[in-house]
Amino acid sequence: MRKTRRACNVPDATIHRLPLYLEKLKLLQAIGVEDVSSRQLAESLDIKASQLRHDFHYFGGFSRPGRPYQVDILVPALEQIIGISQPQPTVILGAGHLGQALANYQNLELQGFPVVGIFDVNPKLIGLEIRGQPVRDMDELELLIRDKGVRIAILTVPAANAQAVTDRLVRAGIVGIFNFAPTDLKVPETVVVRNERLAVGIMSLSFRVKCIIEGGYERTDGLVAGE
């Protein structure tokens, strides 16, 4: 029987490590390193070598037993798995401060996600040039998504508009939404959303900070006294 493996069965924890592996491998590639063992690569990421091999095992066939990984094989293999063998054109919805900052963030393009369109409803922003691209009227959205084959959208509109814009993106054929609006989005099962909640991040940091400063948390229930 043909042995296959569904991509969607790979746990999130593994998926989140793939970009980190890729990043390190590209650094090695840049300095001319040709091959690397799971132990070396894992050590540089502060994880166990067995975890790295277990992660790779979901996809299989990166090396052969006894031979270390070859950087020049692993880099394109990971890029293929992540889906950036070809650049993935993206659009930014909302040309406010955050939208502009992301449009200017050249790392996105370097990592394989060139921004091919920036949209806003504010007439004062429409036409403004950001890294050589004009902020466009929403009228142009569907046409540009179709013409450029865009599948990923970055959402930086106000929370109040986020669902309406999302519905329009879904109808236009967008498959992945990187959501910076602090609100949950309803999408069909064939669309995937990744929420980037800055407030959640800084609050969990705040908890850890408090924990360091205070050294611990004392319960205040009835069990504290008399026992």
Partner DNA sequence: TAGATTGTTAATCGATTAACAATC
Q: Which is nearer to a copy of itself, 139 or 199 (CB)?
A: 199
Rounded to a whole number of angstroms, the minimum distance from the CB of residue 87 to DNA is 28
Beta strands in 21-114 (DSSP E): 35-36, 69-70, 90-93
Rounded Cα distance, 132 and 111, in Å: 19
Q: How far is the CB of 51 from DNA (least distance, A)?
A: 4
CB of 68 to DNA, least distance (A): 4
Nearest distance from residue 139's CB to a copy of itself, in Å?
25
For the record, the structure tokens of 62 come out as 């990166």
Given a copy of itself, DNA, none, residue 57, with its beta carbon under 5 to 8 Å by kind, binds: DNA
Pairing mode of beta strands 69-70, 35-36: antiparallel
The type of residue at 209 is V
Taking CB under 7 A as the binding criterion, the range among 6-14, 120-128, 161-169, 186-194 that sits at the site for DNA is 6-14
Binding residues for DNA restricted to 54-113, rule: CB under 7 A = 54, 56-57, 60-69
Radius of gyration over every alpha carbon of the chain, rounded to an integer in angstroms: 22
Structural contact between residues 115 and 100, judged by C-beta atoms closer than 8 angstroms: no
Angstrom distance (rounded) from CA 195 to CA 183: 8
Look at residue 143 and give the partner it binds from DNA, a copy of itself, none, a contact being a CB closer than 5 to 8 Å depending on partner kind. none
Positions in the binding site for DNA (CB under 7 A): 11-14, 36-39, 47-51, 53-54, 56-57, 60-69, 221, 223
